[in-house]
A and B are shown apart, each in its own frame.
Chain A
Protein backbone atom coordinates (compact mmCIF):
# COMPACT_ATOMS: atom_id res chain seq x y z
CA UNK A 1 0.00 0.00 0.00
CA UNK A 2 1.26 3.40 -0.96
CA UNK A 3 2.44 5.76 1.72
CA UNK A 4 0.04 8.65 2.32
CA UNK A 5 0.97 11.71 0.34
CA UNK A 6 1.28 14.77 2.54
CA UNK A 7 -0.28 17.88 0.98
CA UNK A 8 2.16 19.96 -0.91
CA UNK A 9 4.34 22.13 1.18
CA UNK A 10 7.55 21.32 -0.52
CA UNK A 11 10.80 21.69 1.27
CA UNK A 12 13.52 23.83 -0.17
CA UNK A 13 15.09 22.56 -3.33
CA UNK A 14 17.61 19.95 -2.66
CA UNK A 15 19.57 19.62 -5.84
CA UNK A 16 19.24 15.97 -6.63
CA UNK A 17 19.60 14.26 -3.28
CA UNK A 18 17.36 11.28 -2.91
CA UNK A 19 15.84 11.48 0.55
CA UNK A 20 15.97 8.46 2.80
CA UNK A 21 12.70 6.95 3.74
CA UNK A 22 12.09 8.03 7.31
CA UNK A 23 9.07 7.15 9.38
CA UNK A 24 7.40 5.70 6.33
CA UNK A 25 6.36 8.91 4.68
CA UNK A 26 7.95 10.91 1.93
CA UNK A 27 7.75 14.61 2.30
CA UNK A 28 10.46 15.77 -0.02
CA UNK A 29 10.32 15.89 -3.75
CA UNK A 30 13.24 14.65 -5.70
CA UNK A 31 14.40 17.02 -8.34
CA UNK A 32 17.43 16.81 -10.52
CA UNK A 33 17.95 19.74 -12.72
CA UNK A 34 20.19 18.28 -15.32
CA UNK A 35 20.29 20.92 -17.94
CA UNK A 36 18.78 24.25 -18.53
CA UNK A 37 18.89 26.04 -21.79
CA UNK A 38 18.29 29.69 -22.21
CA UNK A 39 17.48 31.37 -25.50
CA UNK A 40 17.84 35.10 -25.65
CA UNK A 41 17.88 37.89 -28.14
CA UNK A 42 19.94 40.96 -28.15
CA UNK A 43 19.69 43.99 -30.30
CA UNK A 44 23.14 44.74 -31.59
CA UNK A 45 22.14 48.15 -32.78
CA UNK A 46 23.47 47.98 -36.30
CA UNK A 47 22.81 46.37 -39.60
CA UNK A 48 24.53 43.04 -39.92
CA UNK A 49 25.60 41.09 -42.89
CA UNK A 50 24.30 37.83 -41.57
CA UNK A 51 26.01 35.62 -44.05
CA UNK A 52 29.46 36.95 -43.34
CA UNK A 53 29.00 36.55 -39.65
CA UNK A 54 27.67 33.04 -39.95
CA UNK A 55 30.57 32.00 -42.09
CA UNK A 56 33.25 33.66 -40.04
CA UNK A 57 32.06 33.13 -36.49
CA UNK A 58 32.04 29.80 -34.82
CA UNK A 59 28.97 28.43 -33.06
CA UNK A 60 26.64 30.54 -35.16
CA UNK A 61 23.81 29.13 -37.23
CA UNK A 62 22.17 31.20 -39.92
CA UNK A 63 18.82 30.06 -41.12
CA UNK A 64 17.52 32.32 -43.90
CA UNK A 65 14.25 30.45 -44.15
CA UNK A 66 13.27 31.51 -40.65
CA UNK A 67 11.02 34.51 -40.86
CA UNK A 68 12.93 36.93 -38.70
CA UNK A 69 16.30 36.47 -40.30
CA UNK A 70 18.42 36.02 -37.29
CA UNK A 71 21.45 34.32 -36.04
CA UNK A 72 20.95 31.64 -33.46
CA UNK A 73 23.96 31.31 -31.31
CA UNK A 74 24.22 28.01 -29.51
CA UNK A 75 26.46 27.73 -26.53
CA UNK A 76 28.14 24.60 -25.37
CA UNK A 77 28.04 23.63 -22.53
CA UNK A 78 24.50 24.64 -21.64
CA UNK A 79 24.35 27.73 -19.53
CA UNK A 80 23.34 27.35 -15.95
CA UNK A 81 22.32 30.87 -15.20
CA UNK A 82 20.91 33.97 -16.72
CA UNK A 83 24.05 35.90 -16.00
CA UNK A 84 26.12 33.48 -18.02
CA UNK A 85 23.69 33.81 -20.87
CA UNK A 86 24.16 37.55 -20.84
CA UNK A 87 27.88 37.12 -20.73
CA UNK A 88 27.81 34.81 -23.71
CA UNK A 89 25.73 37.31 -25.64
CA UNK A 90 28.27 40.00 -24.84
CA UNK A 91 31.04 37.79 -26.07
CA UNK A 92 29.29 37.35 -29.37
CA UNK A 93 28.72 41.03 -29.70
CA UNK A 94 32.48 41.26 -29.37
CA UNK A 95 32.97 38.63 -32.06
CA UNK A 96 30.69 40.55 -34.38
CA UNK A 97 32.64 43.72 -33.58
CA UNK A 98 35.87 42.04 -34.49
CA UNK A 99 34.41 41.05 -37.83
CA UNK A 100 34.13 44.70 -38.59
CA UNK A 101 30.57 45.68 -37.76
CA UNK A 102 29.90 48.49 -35.31
CA UNK A 103 27.98 46.39 -32.85
CA UNK A 104 26.44 47.67 -29.64
CA UNK A 105 24.86 45.72 -26.83
CA UNK A 106 21.25 46.80 -26.44
CA UNK A 107 18.04 45.26 -25.17
CA UNK A 108 19.26 41.97 -23.88
CA UNK A 109 16.17 39.87 -23.16
CA UNK A 110 15.80 36.24 -22.30
CA UNK A 111 13.16 34.69 -24.51
CA UNK A 112 12.79 31.17 -23.36
CA UNK A 113 13.95 28.91 -20.59
CA UNK A 114 13.85 25.12 -20.59
CA UNK A 115 14.20 22.84 -17.60
CA UNK A 116 14.18 19.09 -17.16
CA UNK A 117 13.80 16.86 -14.19
CA UNK A 118 12.89 13.39 -13.06
CA UNK A 119 10.20 12.41 -10.59
CA UNK A 120 11.77 8.95 -10.28
CA UNK A 121 8.62 6.93 -10.67
CA UNK A 122 6.76 5.69 -13.76
CA UNK A 123 3.61 7.58 -14.69
CA UNK A 124 0.23 6.39 -16.01
CA UNK A 125 -0.19 8.78 -18.94
CA UNK A 126 -3.54 7.26 -19.95
CA UNK A 127 -5.02 8.18 -16.58
CA UNK A 128 -3.61 11.68 -16.73
CA UNK A 129 -5.04 12.38 -20.17
CA UNK A 130 -8.47 11.13 -19.04
CA UNK A 131 -8.77 13.45 -16.09
CA UNK A 132 -6.98 16.49 -17.46
CA UNK A 133 -8.15 16.40 -21.01
CA UNK A 134 -8.53 20.16 -21.38
CA UNK A 135 -4.83 20.56 -20.78
CA UNK A 136 -3.34 17.32 -22.03
CA UNK A 137 -2.65 15.91 -25.44
CA UNK A 138 -1.40 12.34 -25.60
CA UNK A 139 -1.16 10.74 -29.03
CA UNK A 140 1.27 7.81 -29.03
CA UNK A 141 1.15 7.78 -32.82
CA UNK A 142 2.50 11.31 -32.94
CA UNK A 143 4.77 11.61 -29.91
CA UNK A 144 5.54 9.21 -27.05
CA UNK A 145 5.16 11.88 -24.37
CA UNK A 146 2.11 13.61 -23.00
CA UNK A 147 2.00 17.35 -23.82
CA UNK A 148 0.56 19.25 -20.87
CA UNK A 149 -0.20 22.93 -21.43
CA UNK A 150 -0.43 24.52 -18.02
CA UNK A 151 -2.37 27.78 -17.91
CA UNK A 152 -0.92 29.37 -14.83
CA UNK A 153 1.99 29.82 -15.26
CA UNK A 154 1.91 29.45 -19.01
CA UNK A 155 4.29 26.56 -19.40
CA UNK A 156 4.30 23.51 -21.63
CA UNK A 157 5.39 20.30 -19.97
CA UNK A 158 6.37 17.11 -21.77
CA UNK A 159 5.67 14.22 -19.46
CA UNK A 160 7.02 10.76 -20.21
CA UNK A 161 6.19 7.30 -18.96
CA UNK A 162 9.63 6.98 -17.38
CA UNK A 163 8.91 9.89 -15.06
CA UNK A 164 11.10 12.40 -16.82
CA UNK A 165 9.54 15.82 -17.27
CA UNK A 166 10.64 18.65 -19.57
CA UNK A 167 9.31 22.15 -18.88
CA UNK A 168 9.56 24.91 -21.44
CA UNK A 169 8.15 28.30 -22.35
CA UNK A 170 9.22 30.18 -19.26
CA UNK A 171 10.52 33.72 -19.29
CA UNK A 172 11.86 33.60 -15.76
CA UNK A 173 13.26 30.84 -13.64
CA UNK A 174 10.47 31.10 -11.05
CA UNK A 175 7.90 30.00 -13.61
CA UNK A 176 9.67 26.71 -14.13
CA UNK A 177 9.76 26.04 -10.42
CA UNK A 178 6.14 27.03 -9.97
CA UNK A 179 5.02 24.79 -12.82
CA UNK A 180 6.86 21.86 -11.35
CA UNK A 181 5.30 22.52 -7.94
CA UNK A 182 1.90 22.42 -9.57
CA UNK A 183 2.42 19.26 -11.55
CA UNK A 184 4.21 17.16 -8.96
CA UNK A 185 1.17 16.28 -6.80
CA UNK A 186 -0.83 15.50 -9.93
CA UNK A 187 1.87 13.15 -11.16
CA UNK A 188 2.07 11.46 -7.81
CA UNK A 189 -1.60 10.67 -8.17
CA UNK A 190 -0.89 8.80 -11.40
CA UNK A 191 2.08 6.85 -10.25
CA UNK A 192 2.22 3.31 -11.65
CA UNK A 193 1.74 0.82 -8.87
CA UNK A 194 3.18 -2.29 -10.55
Chain B
Protein backbone atom coordinates (compact mmCIF):
# COMPACT_ATOMS: atom_id res chain seq x y z
CA UNK B 1 0.00 0.00 0.00
CA UNK B 2 3.07 2.17 -0.06
CA UNK B 3 3.36 2.78 -3.78
CA UNK B 4 1.38 5.51 -5.45
CA UNK B 5 3.29 5.46 -8.73
CA UNK B 6 1.30 4.23 -11.69
CA UNK B 7 2.05 0.64 -12.46
CA UNK B 8 2.42 -0.60 -16.01
CA UNK B 9 2.08 -4.25 -16.76
CA UNK B 10 2.69 -6.34 -19.82
CA UNK B 11 -0.66 -6.98 -21.52
CA UNK B 12 0.19 -10.63 -22.12
CA UNK B 13 1.79 -11.35 -18.79
CA UNK B 14 0.15 -9.19 -16.14
CA UNK B 15 1.93 -10.98 -13.32
CA UNK B 16 5.43 -10.66 -14.66
CA UNK B 17 7.75 -8.24 -12.90
CA UNK B 18 9.13 -5.82 -15.46
CA UNK B 19 12.84 -5.29 -15.89
CA UNK B 20 14.15 -1.76 -16.18
CA UNK B 21 16.72 -0.86 -18.72
CA UNK B 22 18.30 2.34 -17.47
CA UNK B 23 20.29 3.25 -20.49
CA UNK B 24 17.39 3.22 -22.87
CA UNK B 25 14.72 4.17 -20.37
CA UNK B 26 12.63 1.09 -21.13
CA UNK B 27 10.66 -1.34 -19.08
CA UNK B 28 10.81 -4.79 -20.61
CA UNK B 29 8.73 -7.88 -19.88
CA UNK B 30 11.06 -10.79 -19.10
CA UNK B 31 8.64 -13.38 -20.47
CA UNK B 32 8.11 -12.18 -24.01
CA UNK B 33 10.55 -9.29 -24.39
CA UNK B 34 7.85 -6.72 -25.07
CA UNK B 35 8.88 -3.15 -24.33
CA UNK B 36 6.03 -2.04 -22.15
CA UNK B 37 7.05 1.45 -21.16
CA UNK B 38 9.46 3.55 -23.09
CA UNK B 39 10.98 6.88 -22.32
CA UNK B 40 10.43 6.22 -18.66
CA UNK B 41 11.74 9.05 -16.55
CA UNK B 42 14.30 7.95 -14.00
CA UNK B 43 13.21 9.21 -10.61
CA UNK B 44 16.47 8.34 -8.92
CA UNK B 45 18.63 11.12 -7.58
CA UNK B 46 20.56 13.21 -10.04
CA UNK B 47 23.75 13.68 -8.04
CA UNK B 48 25.26 11.80 -5.21
CA UNK B 49 26.08 13.98 -2.22
CA UNK B 50 28.58 12.93 0.40
CA UNK B 51 28.70 14.28 3.90
CA UNK B 52 32.31 15.41 3.73
CA UNK B 53 31.66 17.59 0.71
CA UNK B 54 31.22 21.28 1.34
CA UNK B 55 27.53 21.72 1.89
CA UNK B 56 27.22 25.07 0.18
CA UNK B 57 27.07 23.69 -3.31
CA UNK B 58 24.09 21.37 -3.65
CA UNK B 59 23.70 20.80 -7.37
CA UNK B 60 20.40 18.98 -7.02
CA UNK B 61 17.73 20.73 -8.97
CA UNK B 62 14.82 18.96 -7.29
CA UNK B 63 13.72 18.98 -3.68
CA UNK B 64 13.51 16.14 -1.18
CA UNK B 65 12.02 12.80 -2.08
CA UNK B 66 8.28 12.91 -2.38
CA UNK B 67 6.11 11.63 0.39
CA UNK B 68 2.83 11.55 -1.52
CA UNK B 69 0.86 9.37 0.84
CA UNK B 70 1.38 11.34 3.93
CA UNK B 71 1.21 14.93 2.80
CA UNK B 72 -0.79 16.82 0.26
CA UNK B 73 1.64 16.07 -2.49
CA UNK B 74 4.51 18.17 -1.31
CA UNK B 75 4.29 20.50 -4.29
CA UNK B 76 5.48 23.90 -3.26
CA UNK B 77 7.87 26.57 -4.34
CA UNK B 78 10.96 27.39 -2.37
CA UNK B 79 13.35 30.25 -2.78
CA UNK B 80 16.92 29.08 -3.12
CA UNK B 81 20.08 30.68 -1.72
CA UNK B 82 21.08 33.86 -3.41
CA UNK B 83 24.02 34.18 -5.77
CA UNK B 84 25.52 37.46 -6.83
CA UNK B 85 25.52 40.82 -5.03
CA UNK B 86 21.96 41.89 -5.64
CA UNK B 87 20.44 39.30 -3.38
CA UNK B 88 22.03 40.68 -0.20
CA UNK B 89 20.79 43.78 1.53
CA UNK B 90 22.87 46.36 3.42
CA UNK B 91 23.63 44.23 6.48
CA UNK B 92 24.83 41.24 4.61
CA UNK B 93 21.67 39.24 5.18
CA UNK B 94 19.90 37.56 2.34
CA UNK B 95 17.16 39.74 0.96
CA UNK B 96 14.75 36.90 0.44
CA UNK B 97 14.35 34.48 3.29
CA UNK B 98 15.24 31.02 2.34
CA UNK B 99 12.33 28.73 2.90
CA UNK B 100 8.80 29.98 2.77
CA UNK B 101 6.12 28.10 4.63
CA UNK B 102 5.10 25.11 2.61
CA UNK B 103 1.95 23.03 2.86
CA UNK B 104 0.65 25.12 5.74
CA UNK B 105 -2.52 23.10 5.82
CA UNK B 106 -0.57 20.09 7.00
CA UNK B 107 2.02 21.76 9.11
CA UNK B 108 0.60 20.16 12.24
CA UNK B 109 0.64 16.76 10.60
CA UNK B 110 4.26 17.06 9.53
CA UNK B 111 5.13 18.22 13.01
CA UNK B 112 3.45 15.14 14.40
CA UNK B 113 5.40 12.89 12.02
CA UNK B 114 8.59 14.43 13.24
CA UNK B 115 7.52 13.83 16.83
CA UNK B 116 6.61 10.22 16.02
CA UNK B 117 10.00 9.62 14.46
CA UNK B 118 11.69 11.13 17.52
CA UNK B 119 9.70 8.95 19.92
CA UNK B 120 10.28 5.81 17.90
CA UNK B 121 13.96 6.59 17.71
CA UNK B 122 14.25 6.69 21.48
CA UNK B 123 13.17 3.08 21.78
CA UNK B 124 14.70 1.93 18.51
CA UNK B 125 11.54 1.03 16.70
CA UNK B 126 11.96 -0.20 13.11
CA UNK B 127 10.79 1.75 10.11
CA UNK B 128 7.73 -0.41 9.46
CA UNK B 129 6.21 0.53 12.82
CA UNK B 130 6.92 4.20 12.21
CA UNK B 131 5.27 4.01 8.79
CA UNK B 132 2.25 2.30 10.26
CA UNK B 133 2.06 4.93 12.97
CA UNK B 134 2.20 7.71 10.40
CA UNK B 135 -0.60 6.12 8.43
CA UNK B 136 -2.75 5.73 11.51
CA UNK B 137 -2.13 9.32 12.48
CA UNK B 138 -3.05 10.51 9.03
CA UNK B 139 -6.33 8.57 9.13
CA UNK B 140 -7.20 9.94 12.55
CA UNK B 141 -6.22 13.47 11.59
CA UNK B 142 -8.33 13.47 8.45
CA UNK B 143 -11.32 12.10 10.28
CA UNK B 144 -11.19 15.00 12.70
CA UNK B 145 -13.13 13.10 15.34
CA UNK B 146 -10.31 13.58 17.87
CA UNK B 147 -9.62 17.12 16.85
CA UNK B 148 -9.69 18.56 20.36
CA UNK B 149 -6.99 16.27 21.69
CA UNK B 150 -3.33 17.18 21.78
CA UNK B 151 -1.56 15.96 18.66
CA UNK B 152 1.22 14.50 20.76
CA UNK B 153 -1.30 12.42 22.67
CA UNK B 154 -2.80 11.10 19.45
CA UNK B 155 0.67 10.42 18.08
CA UNK B 156 1.66 8.47 21.20
CA UNK B 157 -1.54 6.45 21.06
CA UNK B 158 -0.97 5.73 17.35
CA UNK B 159 2.51 4.53 18.18
CA UNK B 160 1.11 2.21 20.83
CA UNK B 161 -1.48 0.83 18.40
CA UNK B 162 1.09 0.35 15.65
CA UNK B 163 3.32 -1.68 17.94
CA UNK B 164 0.33 -3.81 18.92
CA UNK B 165 -0.73 -4.32 15.32
CA UNK B 166 2.76 -5.37 14.27
CA UNK B 167 2.73 -8.06 16.93
CA UNK B 168 5.38 -6.47 19.14
CA UNK B 169 3.39 -4.58 21.76
CA UNK B 170 5.00 -1.99 24.00
CA UNK B 171 3.48 -1.34 27.39
CA UNK B 172 1.80 1.99 28.01
CA UNK B 173 4.54 2.81 30.45
CA UNK B 174 7.20 2.24 27.81
CA UNK B 175 5.41 4.68 25.51
CA UNK B 176 5.04 7.13 28.41
CA UNK B 177 8.77 7.02 28.88
CA UNK B 178 9.37 8.52 25.44
CA UNK B 179 6.39 10.87 25.38
CA UNK B 180 5.40 13.88 27.41
CA UNK B 181 1.81 12.69 27.67
CA UNK B 182 0.48 10.91 30.75
CA UNK B 183 -0.51 7.25 30.68
CA UNK B 184 -4.11 8.22 31.42
CA UNK B 185 -4.32 10.49 28.41
CA UNK B 186 -2.65 8.00 26.10
CA UNK B 187 -5.08 5.33 27.30
CA UNK B 188 -8.04 7.61 26.62
CA UNK B 189 -6.81 8.50 23.13
CA UNK B 190 -6.11 4.84 22.46
CA UNK B 191 -9.72 3.90 23.14
CA UNK B 192 -11.03 6.84 21.14
CA UNK B 193 -8.86 6.01 18.13
CA UNK B 194 -9.94 2.37 18.11
CA UNK B 195 -13.52 3.54 18.07
CA UNK B 196 -12.90 6.20 15.42
CA UNK B 197 -11.06 3.88 13.05
CA UNK B 198 -13.33 0.96 13.91
CA UNK B 199 -10.42 -1.38 14.44
CA UNK B 200 -9.48 -3.58 17.30
CA UNK B 201 -6.24 -5.02 18.58
CA UNK B 202 -5.32 -8.44 19.91
CA UNK B 203 -5.10 -9.01 23.61
CA UNK B 204 -1.58 -8.80 25.05
CA UNK B 205 0.03 -12.03 26.23
CA UNK B 206 2.91 -12.67 28.59
CA UNK B 207 5.14 -13.96 25.82
CA UNK B 208 5.08 -10.65 23.92
CA UNK B 209 7.39 -9.01 26.42
CA UNK B 210 9.71 -11.80 27.42
CA UNK B 211 12.48 -11.24 24.93
CA UNK B 212 12.65 -7.52 25.56
CA UNK B 213 12.57 -7.67 29.35
CA UNK B 214 15.05 -10.52 29.53
CA UNK B 215 17.48 -8.84 27.17
CA UNK B 216 17.33 -5.64 29.17
CA UNK B 217 18.16 -7.66 32.26
CA UNK B 218 20.99 -9.45 30.43
CA UNK B 219 19.53 -12.85 31.15
CA UNK B 220 20.69 -15.84 29.10
CA UNK B 221 18.41 -17.54 26.59
CA UNK B 222 17.77 -20.49 28.90
CA UNK B 223 16.31 -18.25 31.56
CA UNK B 224 14.21 -16.38 29.02
CA UNK B 225 12.77 -19.61 27.67
CA UNK B 226 12.10 -20.85 31.18
CA UNK B 227 10.34 -17.61 32.11
CA UNK B 228 8.21 -17.78 28.96
CA UNK B 229 7.24 -21.34 29.81
CA UNK B 230 6.45 -20.48 33.43
CA UNK B 231 4.25 -17.54 32.48
CA UNK B 232 2.37 -19.49 29.84
CA UNK B 233 1.75 -22.41 32.16
CA UNK B 234 0.64 -20.09 34.96
CA UNK B 235 -1.99 -18.53 32.71
CA UNK B 236 -3.09 -21.95 31.41
CA UNK B 237 -3.53 -23.30 34.92
CA UNK B 238 -5.37 -20.09 35.84
CA UNK B 239 -3.14 -19.44 38.84
CA UNK B 240 -3.24 -15.68 38.31
CA UNK B 241 -6.80 -14.68 37.41
CA UNK B 242 -7.31 -11.00 36.80
CA UNK B 243 -3.59 -10.11 36.96
CA UNK B 244 -2.11 -7.96 34.22
CA UNK B 245 0.02 -10.03 31.83
CA UNK B 246 2.94 -7.69 32.53
CA UNK B 247 2.85 -8.50 36.24
CA UNK B 248 2.68 -12.22 35.52
CA UNK B 249 5.58 -11.96 33.10
CA UNK B 250 7.64 -10.08 35.69
CA UNK B 251 6.92 -12.69 38.37
CA UNK B 252 7.83 -15.49 35.96
CA UNK B 253 11.13 -13.78 35.13
CA UNK B 254 11.83 -13.44 38.83
CA UNK B 255 11.19 -17.13 39.44
CA UNK B 256 13.25 -18.22 36.47
CA UNK B 257 16.17 -15.95 37.32
CA UNK B 258 16.16 -17.00 40.97
CA UNK B 259 16.36 -20.64 39.92
CA UNK B 260 19.31 -19.98 37.64
CA UNK B 261 22.79 -18.65 38.18
CA UNK B 262 21.74 -15.18 36.98
CA UNK B 263 19.63 -13.96 39.87
CA UNK B 264 17.80 -10.65 39.63
CA UNK B 265 16.11 -8.77 42.43
CA UNK B 266 12.47 -7.82 42.34
CA UNK B 267 13.45 -4.18 42.21
CA UNK B 268 15.56 -4.66 39.07
CA UNK B 269 12.81 -6.56 37.30
CA UNK B 270 10.26 -4.01 38.46
CA UNK B 271 12.32 -1.18 37.00
CA UNK B 272 12.57 -2.84 33.60
CA UNK B 273 8.98 -4.01 33.40
CA UNK B 274 7.43 -0.90 34.88
CA UNK B 275 5.67 -2.75 37.69
CA UNK B 276 6.03 -2.14 41.40
CA UNK B 277 7.99 -4.76 43.31
CA UNK B 278 4.98 -5.40 45.56
CA UNK B 279 3.06 -6.29 42.41
CA UNK B 280 5.72 -8.82 41.47
CA UNK B 281 5.53 -10.17 45.01
CA UNK B 282 1.75 -10.60 44.75
CA UNK B 283 1.90 -12.49 41.47
CA UNK B 284 4.90 -14.50 42.64
CA UNK B 285 3.00 -15.66 45.73
CA UNK B 286 0.26 -16.95 43.45
CA UNK B 287 2.59 -19.00 41.23
CA UNK B 288 5.02 -20.15 43.94
CA UNK B 289 2.95 -23.11 45.19
CA UNK B 290 2.96 -24.75 41.76
CA UNK B 291 6.57 -23.88 40.96
CA UNK B 292 7.73 -27.45 40.17
CA UNK B 293 4.98 -27.81 37.52
CA UNK B 294 5.72 -24.51 35.85
CA UNK B 295 9.36 -24.98 34.90
CA UNK B 296 10.15 -26.53 31.52
CA UNK B 297 11.18 -30.19 31.84
CA UNK B 298 14.73 -29.71 30.57
CA UNK B 299 15.63 -26.77 32.80
CA UNK B 300 18.95 -26.91 34.65
CA UNK B 301 18.44 -25.66 38.16
CA UNK B 302 21.18 -23.70 39.81
CA UNK B 303 19.01 -23.27 42.86
CA UNK B 304 16.59 -26.18 43.31
CA UNK B 305 12.89 -25.57 43.29
CA UNK B 306 12.43 -26.02 47.03
CA UNK B 307 15.11 -23.45 47.75
CA UNK B 308 13.36 -20.71 45.75
CA UNK B 309 12.74 -17.60 47.84
CA UNK B 310 9.43 -17.58 49.58
CA UNK B 311 8.01 -14.10 49.92
Return chain B residues, CB-CB under 8 Å to A162: 241-242
Which 9 residue pairs of A and B lie closest in terms of their CB atoms, listed nearest first?
A161-B242, A140-B244, A133-B200, A161-B241, A142-B187, A194-B238, A141-B172, A144-B242, A126-B203
Interface membership of A187, Cβ < 8 A: no
Residue of B whose beta carbon sits closest to that of A161: B242
List 12 extra interface pairs beyond A137-B191, A137-B194, A139-B191, CB under 8 A. A133-B200, A138-B203, A140-B246, A141-B171, A141-B204, A141-B244, A142-B172, A142-B187, A160-B242, A161-B242, A192-B238, A192-B241
Closest chain-B Cβ to A127's Cβ sits at a distance in Å of 10
Inter-chain contact B241/A129, CB cutoff 8 Å:
no
Closest chain-B Cβ to A79's Cβ sits at a distance in Å of 30
Interface membership of B16, Cβ < 8 A: no
Interface membership of B237, Cβ < 8 A: yes
Query: Which label, helix, strand, loop or mixed, suits the secondary structure of the B interface?
Result: loop
* 21 sampled A-B residue pairs with Cβ under 8 A: A122-B241, A129-B203, A130-B203, A137-B191, A137-B194, A138-B203, A139-B187, A139-B190, A140-B204, A140-B243, A140-B246, A141-B172, A141-B187, A141-B204, A141-B246, A142-B187, A144-B242, A160-B242, A161-B241, A192-B238, A192-B241
Residue of B whose beta carbon sits closest to that of A122: B241
**B232-246 Cβ-contact flags toward A at 8 Å (1 or 0):** 000001100111111
Inter-chain contact A140/B245, CB cutoff 8 Å:
yes
Return chain A residues, CB-CB under 8 Å to B172: 141-142
Size class of A's contact patch? Answer: 10 to 19
Q: How far is the CA of A34 from the CA of B200 in the complex (A)?
A: 34
Query: Which label, helix, strand, loop or mixed, suits the secondary structure of the A interface?
Result: loop
Q: How far is the CA of A192 from the CA of B244 in the complex (A)?
A: 18
**A140-161 Cβ-contact flags toward B at 8 Å (1 or 0):** 1110100000000000000011
Which A residues fall within an 8 A CB radius of B? Answer: 122, 126, 129-130, 133, 137-142, 144, 160-162, 192, 194
Tell me the chain B residues, 157-181 only, with Cβ under 8 Å from chain A: 171-172
Residue with the greatest number of chain A CB neighbours at <10 A, chosen from B191, B242, B246: B242
Q: How far is the CA of A60 from the CA of B243 in the complex (A)?
A: 37
Residue of B whose beta carbon sits closest to that of A125: B242
Q: Quick one: given A139-B187, A192-B238, A194-B238, are A144 and B244 in contact (CB under 8 Å)? A: yes
Return chain A residues, CB-CB under 8 Å to B171: 141
Return chain A residues, CB-CB under 8 Å to B246: 140-141
Inter-chain contact A194/B242, CB cutoff 8 Å:
no
**B192-211 Cβ-contact flags toward A at 8 Å (1 or 0):** 00100000100110000000
Residue of A whose beta carbon sits closest to that of B195: A137
Q: How far is the CA of A122 from the CA of B237 in the complex (A)?
A: 14
Closest chain-B Cβ to A122's Cβ sits at a distance in Å of 6
Tell me the chain B residues, 77-121 only, with Cβ under 8 Å from chain A: none
Q: How far is the CA of A181 from the CA of B29 in the complex (A)?
A: 65
